[in-house]
Amino acid sequence: MKAADAAVRRLTRRRGILPGFRLTFGFTVLYLSLVVLLPLGALVLRSTHLSWAQFAAAVSGPRALAAYRLSFFASLLGALINLVFGSVLAWVLTRYRFPGKALADALVDLPFALPTAVAGIALTAVYAENGFIGRYLVANGVHVAFAPAGVVVALTFVGLPFVVRTLQPVLLDLDPAMEEAAAVLGAGRLRVLARVIAPAMLPTLLTGFALSFARALGEYGSVVFISGNMPLKTEIVPLLIFTRLEQYDVGGATAIAVVMLAGSFALLLGIHAIGMVGRRRPARSQVVA
């Protein structure tokens, strides 16, 4: 009966008993094409105006290579910091009760809501030589502002909500029966964490990490203030694109942008793949149980 019901629903849906398909679908595709696809298409099309040699020169100069390296490793480090401390924060926010919890939970979203330029000047003020934290660091010879470490700090800030917000709902849905079973069978808390909770959370951890990493790669506003923007040293890829454009090197800017766009797409596909594996995983373990 249920199968027949579903079949009927599928049929009626496809035939479109509800009105408005043409209107909503048409508007969606038109608006998407005009606002998003047309500009991005222009970017890709413009890059084909370059000869292969021009393209290669633009994307593989020493300045570009240094920028790729910094963007990649600073984003990676920021995402790793978020993975470790974001996991602790997500755990604490879902499992424990303590004063100020609701406020802490709300604050996690701040990096989403705070304009990146504001984050940039605020972090710079905090980590500069006379800043709240910077004065102690600089006294000990650690430079964060106007150094690669500053890039990591800014990218950690912008990626902070992703790990926490990805983990929270999954942690809440985790079946306590599994942990109970492990405890009854004699496993200590650490062992339960390592053998029961961590494996169940692995796809989610990876997704949160990848989202945080992807967000960091494209970030511009918060980094330009704290990094000092020194070519070869503290110049990230988006800044290099902007600089090329301001130097009227439109071809160079486009070439680097296309490389970066390709990287982002690859990452996006990766995140989708992790999501798909993650969705399949619990179903399988339920069958085993």
249 contacts: CB under 8 Å, gap ≥ 6 = 58
| C-alpha dihedral sign at 60, 61, 67, 69 | positive
In whole angstroms, how large is the CA radius of gyration of the chain? 24
| Size of site (CB under 8 A) for other proteins | 101
Binding other proteins (rule: CB under 8 A), the pick from 160, 167, 200, 206 is: 160
Q: Which two tokens stand for residue 216?
A: 């960091």
Write down the least CB distance from residue 141 to other proteins, Å.
Answer: 20
| Contact characters 8-47, other proteins, x per CB under 8 A | -xx--xx-xxxxxx-xxx-xxx-xx--xxxxxx-xx-xx-
Question: What does the DSSP assignment read for 30-95?
Answer: HHHIIIIIHHHHHHHHHHTTS-HHHHHHHHHSHHHHHHHHHHHHHHHHHHHHHHHHHHHHHHHHHH
63 touches 232 (CB < 8 A): yes
Q: Please give the Cα distance from 240 to 246 (Å, whole number).
A: 10
Which lies closer to other proteins via its Cβ, residue 26 or residue 56?
Answer: 26
> Rule CB under 8 A: which of 123-152 touch other proteins?
123, 125-126, 131-133
Question: What does the DSSP assignment read for 182-223?
Answer: HHHTT--HHHHIIIIIHHHHHHHHHHHHHHHHHHHHH--HHH
Can you tell me which residue has the tokens 């982002």? Answer: 264
> Rule CB under 8 A: which of 164-223 touch other proteins?
172, 176, 179-180, 183-184, 189, 192, 214, 217-221
91 touches 171 (CB < 8 A): yes
> Rule CB under 8 A: which of 62-81 touch other proteins?
none
- DSSP state at residue 9: H
Window of 62-70, 143-151, 231-239, 278-286 that interacts with other proteins by CB under 8 A? 231-239
SS3 186: coil
Write down the least CB distance from residue 287 to other proteins, Å.
Answer: 23
252 touches 64 (CB < 8 A): no
Which lies closer to other proteins via its Cβ, residue 129 or residue 180?
Answer: 180
Binding other proteins (rule: CB under 8 A), the pick from 57, 76, 80, 114 is: 114
Write down the least CB distance from residue 39 to other proteins, Å.
Answer: 3
Write down the least CB distance from residue 281 to other proteins, Å.
Answer: 21
Write down the least CB distance from residue 37 to other proteins, Å.
Answer: 7
Binding other proteins (rule: CB under 8 A), the pick from 93, 170, 205, 206 is: 93
Write down the least CB distance from residue 69 to other proteins, Å.
Answer: 17
208 touches 89 (CB < 8 A): no
Binding other proteins (rule: CB under 8 A), the pick from 54, 57, 61, 116 is: 116
> Rule CB under 8 A: which of 234-273 touch other proteins?
237-239, 241-242, 245, 250, 253-254, 257, 260-261, 264-265, 267-268, 272
